[in-house]
């Protein structure tokens, strides 16, 4: 998973520079697609909400995407390994304008859950029993 951070990289570019940069991004993306490297990719809207607290009792506007850390979009890569994903991230044309790309391997199992394998096992067994109950009831 590539997370693109700092969605306001276009600030200060002239119209010509901006169009040129966007053309290069499109060409880069089309090249990756043609090579079968793109599983999914989308930009994110600039508005959003952040939810925290028990039962989600705090709902606030944000994050504010003007910051360099804000995530502006993502690209789910079909890469052989982290090295290939890093190489692809390094070829992103807009890095020179100040965006950064976070490269994160996706997992089948949550790392927090993995720290507690016995608990996950019990939860799965419980879920399995629930499936059986549903199956026998059907």
Partner 1 sequence: MSATTTTDYLLLFRGNVWDRGLSPAQLQKVVSDWMAWFERLKAEGKCTGGHPLEEQGKVISGKQRTVADGPFAESKEAIGGYFYLTVADEKEAIEIAKQCPGLEYGAVVEVRPVADVCSVKQRAVEYSKGELVGAPA
Applying CB under 8 A, the residues found at the interface with partner 1 are 1, 3, 7-10, 14-15, 18-19, 22, 40, 42-56, 59, 63, 65, 69, 71-74, 82, 85-86, 89-90, 92, 95-96, 98-113, 115-116, 119-120, 122-124, 126-127
CB of 38 vs partner 1, minimal distance in Å: 14
Place of tokens 């969605």: 7
Burial 61-89 (b: 16+ CB within 10 A, else e): eeeebeeeebebebbebebeeeeebeebb
Give the integer Cα–Cα distance in Å for 94 and 92. Answer: 6
Q: What contacts 39, CB < 8 A, 6 or more positions away?
A: 76, 77, 78
Taking the least distance from each CB to partner 1, the nearer of 35 and 59 is 59
Taking the least distance from each CB to partner 1, the nearer of 12 and 31 is 12
Q: What contacts 35, CB < 8 A, 6 or more positions away?
A: none
CB of 35 vs partner 1, minimal distance in Å: 19
Taking the least distance from each CB to partner 1, the nearer of 30 and 69 is 69
Q: What contacts 104, CB < 8 A, 6 or more positions away?
A: 1, 2, 3
CB of 138 vs partner 1, minimal distance in Å: 14
Taking the least distance from each CB to partner 1, the nearer of 31 and 105 is 105
CB of 87 vs partner 1, minimal distance in Å: 10
């Amino acid at each position: 998973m590539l997370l693109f951070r700092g969605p306001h990289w276009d600030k200060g570019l002239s119209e010509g520079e901006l169009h040129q940069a966007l053309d290069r991004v499109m060409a880069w993306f089309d090249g990756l697609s043609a090579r079968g490297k793109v599983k999914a990719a989308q930009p994110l809207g600039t508005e959003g909400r952040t939810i925290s607290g028990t039962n989600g009792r705090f709902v606030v506007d944000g994050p504010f995407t003007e910051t360099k850390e804000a995530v502006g979009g993502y690209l789910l890569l079909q890469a052989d390994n982290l090295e290939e994903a890093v190489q692809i991230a390094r070829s992103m044309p807009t890095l020179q304008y100040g965006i950064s790309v976070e490269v994160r391997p996706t997992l089948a199992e949550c790392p927090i859950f993995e720290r507690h394998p016995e608990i996950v096992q019990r939860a799965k067994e419980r879920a399995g029993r629930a499936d059986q109950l549903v199956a026998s009831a059907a």
